[in-house]
A and B are shown apart, each in its own frame.
Chain A
Amino acid sequence: MRYLPLTDTDRQAMLATIGASTIDDLFVDVPEVARLDGPIHGLPMHASEMAVERHMKALAAKNLVAGEVPFFLGAGAYRHHVPASVDTIIQRGEFLTAYTPYQPEIAQGTLQMLFEFQTQVARLYGCAVANASLYDGSTACWEAVAMATRVTKRKRAVLSGALHPHYAQVVKTMAHFTGDEIADALPAITPDPELSGLIARIDEDTACVVVQYPDILGRISDLTPVAEAAHAKGALLVVVNTEPVALGAIKSPGEMGADIVVGEGQSLGVGLQFGGPYLGLFAVRDPKHVRQMPGRLCGETTDAEGKRGFVLTLSTREQHIRREKATSNICTNSGLCALAFTVHMTLLGETGLRQLAAENHRLACIAADRLAKVPGVEVLNNAFFNEFTLMLGGKPAREIIRDLADRGVLGGVSLGRLYPGVEALEHALLVAVTETTTEEDIERLAQELEASIKETV
């Protein structure tokens, strides 16, 4: 077996040193009933690299690759071009095969990178402090709600109806067990987000109000009034962002008064990967909230010779020190995805991120204009960044999506899939456009969409 260096001669010599005659002498504490007499049934025997590669490639070939067709899916996972050097760097063994930096003297590479990552995320979000990552945007969203309940000592969270339904589901799942009260709603299908209704739901018992920006329908609006309303009632504003590239074009949540900003970082460096691993981003605007944050934090310090160095810090918040009193149970987070994000963000810089955002928006505007001309299609949004909602005539959007896939076009995400049973959203299609989209792709989508709708009318 190519991964196992011990030879049978080694094994015999080592058993002799130990004073055991067979390997099974070392498993003597396993009760008789639980000992297996041979390899487990139902699994194949070991295989060569070539044979394994053949098996995996056959499975991969059964999938329709996003990069090979006109592709318009978003809804919390976006397809962006990742520069080649990002993957080269994250495959360096010193990053790839390191552990959480518990021994800082020999982990400065990971630690300095995390310090840079925290700084980039904090600035992007308009916040003071970001942590060293969580699993993904949806779990970060729950962590934000949990933190808000600790800070305010209240147990009620108000969710915007236009929060990603998966995120809302995660929050509701967890709140059921923690005993927190979640007030959620369905999205109002309007050209602009309905903020007045959201504001009306904030009361004196509210720990936080959770708003997505841009929202699940791709809409954007100034959240300052929500922040003011929340603060007036002693509640926190949690802003969720699933597309960090948008923040190269639009105001940061921190600028609008968000107290906690969380999001998905997958757009930068990480890739689609069928949903994971992704990268949870978590930041707070006010440094006084740092000690209530979940997850790892990297901080600057000095070593015994006075040189600058970095360590994991404020770990008395964490499970390995605080056990049942920890701010979160998280241990392993998304370190390597954070590295990918940081390298991509470093390549972009202020200039590149703004250019990337502008290019996304330019192409999205072209797509919205072209698709609006398709008979039976209406663009819902007044404002958007790189994703918008189409209201379709004819069949439900879900069927049209399947039809488009059969025609070799991955045309978007049907909101019917995300909101099962909500009739008003059955005909809504969410279309995302990035710098990877070409004008030919847009034209192809317009034509196939027209054909698909026509077939049913």
Chain B
Amino acid sequence: MNAPNKSGWKPEMQVAESGFLGGPVTSTGNRGLMLEEALLFEIGRADVTGVDLPEVDANAATRLGGLARSNPIGLVGLTEPETVRHYTRLSRQNYGIDLGFFPLGSCTMKHNPRLNEKMARLPGFADIHPLAPQSSVQGALEVIHQLGEWLCKLTGMPAVAMSPKAGAHGELCGILAIRAAHEARGDAREVVLVPESAHGTNPATAAFAGYRVEDIPATPEGRVDVAALKARLGPDVAGVMITNPNTCGLFEKDFREIADAVHAAGGYVYCDGANFNAIVGKVRPGDLGVDAMHINLHKTFSTPHGGGGPGSGPVVLSEALAPFAPLPFIRQSGEGEFYLVEEENREERGPSFGRMTAFHGQMGMFTRALTYILSHGADGLKQVAEDAVLNANYILRSMEDILHAPFGASGPCMHEALFGDKDFTNGLSTLDVAKGLIDEGYHPMTVYFPLVVHGAMLVEPTETESKAAIDQFITAFRGVVGRALEGDEALKQAPYYSPRRRLDETGAARKPKLAFEG
């Protein structure tokens, strides 16, 4: 087999039975700077606190209606130095973008500028109450209004709903707007069409909104099968949910044709905007016939992922869907004052489908995203898309000689490169390659998604990476792939060098232990 030589991999790894790199086992389980850390409930004490507050006066009169707590809560505390050390030690068992390359496809792990963090913490944004009199929070309302206007300009859409809390919540917003629009004209439609390559949130959202979900197949070149989609359109189809650029990393070049067909059949077009970062500043989805699209501020506009949120999912809407936007939204009066349209003045804006969340959305993410947009400007955002796409194509073309790229012949990819595990031998899988990359110091790519490719590996470099960083990754990736092609048994046990080895996920699900006992 030639591939390993081509990849440049040198089989010289040695792994000790115990200990680390053949070194002795330590009495603490620590390995130098890599420190083990007990659970809070094993080291904390009920009588310890890290906050100086007045002692409880047991004789004080209370007005708790006889409901004063008599049983212990079961919490434990740590002093401040112990708390800082506990969570600092835990943090060091995490991989983050700050540490290295994080090519998690479809997730857009780009640099999180620290200016954004600083701006979100200005007391004028961080220390204001959502129900404060509107005259006292004009700057906050202006932030939401300005960000909303710029999202409209960037997408070429006339309206935006800012309150959705994350991408999936944004999907829900768009789908509810579509349902409300159909209901408003007495047209009960039951089906939403979703390509089989879609994010799991798409079918889950449509079902959550009361629709029946039907799959649309993909073509061999990795795009929506337009003929199949057109054949399925009819009076029972409320709309389609299509990701563009799609989850195979390709631009849906027939999107306009699809949109026109859906509209002609009386349906609406939902675009999953998770991959908007590939085209921001270059292409406006409004020009492609989109009726609703969510924008993950935590992807395209770099608000931090935070280990699983918070996100933010504003939804841009077409003229047809705008009247159904959720409450609240922001308007500007003739005198220039910003105000909220809420339940009490909802008549101002017609048949809104109602409220999706308490308050006004993810303000802390709005300030960060606005800061990001101001920093980049129209010129910088265009460059963001171009560099993200350039980096992804560079990886695609640097890997496809040894790694199966199922849609490599379909033309350039957009912001992410998709590979499959077709040529691995000796039972080695995509999972093994992912774990091998961990040993090389990388966060793995997205694995086993999209579902349309066997053993999918979706690599998204983003614009954040330098050429040197990408070249280094390609070398490492080729090395690990080479081992998978050659059938290197040792890869099945990877990772060796992470804070934990492979974890027993089956056991965790069979007998769930979801809280500390004791």
Contact = CB atoms under 8 A, between A and B. Distances in A.
B111 interface: yes
Interface in A40-63: 40-47, 49, 51-53, 55-63
Interface stretch (B226-234, B276-284, B315-323): B276-284
Interface string A274-318: 111110000000000010000011111111110101110111101
B295 to A, nearest CB: 13
A73 to B, nearest CB: 4
A59 B219 CA distance: 49
B129 to A, nearest CB: 4
A30 B363 contact: no
A324 interface: yes
B258 to A, nearest CB: 12
A173 B354 contact: yes
Nearest to A71: B129
Instruction: Pick the most buried of A40, A248, A310, A332: most chain B CB atoms within 10 A of its CB.
Output: A332
The 4 closest A-B pairs by CB, nearest first: A349-B77, A60-B124, A383-B65, A275-B359
A424 interface: no
A165 B154 CA distance: 35
17 contacts: A18-B412, A30-B282, A40-B381, A46-B377, A51-B374, A63-B137, A63-B139, A97-B98, A105-B498, A133-B308, A177-B176, A272-B126, A275-B359, A276-B310, A277-B363, A320-B201, A339-B307
Contacts of A381: 63
A383 B124 contact: no
Interface in B310-357: 310-312, 326-327, 342-344, 353-357
B246 to A, nearest CB: 11
B45 to A, nearest CB: 7
A147 interface: no
Contacts of A146: 208
B139 A299 contact: no
A63 B122 CA distance: 11
Contact of B364 (A92, A135, A277): A277
A156 interface: no
Nearest to B298: A332
Contact of A106 (B125, B365, B367, B443): B443
Given A27-B389, A30-B282, A95-B91, A346 B83 contact: yes
Interface string A251-289: 110010000000010000001111111100000000000
Interface stretch (A81-89, A204-212, A230-238, A443-451): A81-89
Contact of A34 (B95, B283, B499): B283
Contact of A303 (B73, B122, B342, B503): B503
Interface stretch (B6-14, B393-401, B422-430): B393-401
A63 B514 contact: no
Interface stretch (B261-269, B463-471, B481-489): B463-471
A123 interface: yes
Interface residues of B, number: 207
Nearest to B119: A56
B422 to A, nearest CB: 23
Contacts of B412: 18, 20, 25-29
Contacts of A59: 124-125, 139-140, 142-143
A342 B327 CA distance: 31
B21 interface: no
A108 interface: yes
B357 A110 contact: no
B141 to A, nearest CB: 9
Interface in A421-450: 421, 435
Nearest to A23: B386
Contact of A410 (B132, B284, B343, B382): B132
Interface residues of A, number: 214
B179 to A, nearest CB: 6
A346 B77 contact: yes
A75 B129 CA distance: 10
B283 to A, nearest CB: 5
Interface in A187-205: 192
Given A66-B129, A97-B96, A173-B356, 16 more contacts: A23-B389, A25-B412, A30-B283, A44-B378, A76-B358, A93-B96, A99-B308, A106-B93, A116-B40, A274-B130, A275-B130, A276-B357, A304-B501, A319-B201, A331-B168, A336-B307
Interface in B472-515: 493, 495, 498-505, 507-509, 512-515
B113 interface: yes
Contact of B97 (A1, A27, A97): A97
A255 B304 CA distance: 38
A248 B73 contact: yes
Nearest to B154: A40
Interface in B157-183: 165-169, 171-172, 176, 179
B83 A62 contact: no
A248 B69 contact: yes
Given A35-B283, A49-B375, A113-B90, A93 B357 contact: no
A352 B53 contact: yes
B60 interface: yes
Contacts of B55: 355
Contacts of A382: 63, 65
A89 B91 contact: yes
A335 B205 contact: no
A314 B138 contact: no
Contacts of B509: 299, 313-316
Nearest to A172: B354
A272 B128 contact: yes
A176 B63 contact: no
A370 B61 CA distance: 16
B109 A46 contact: no
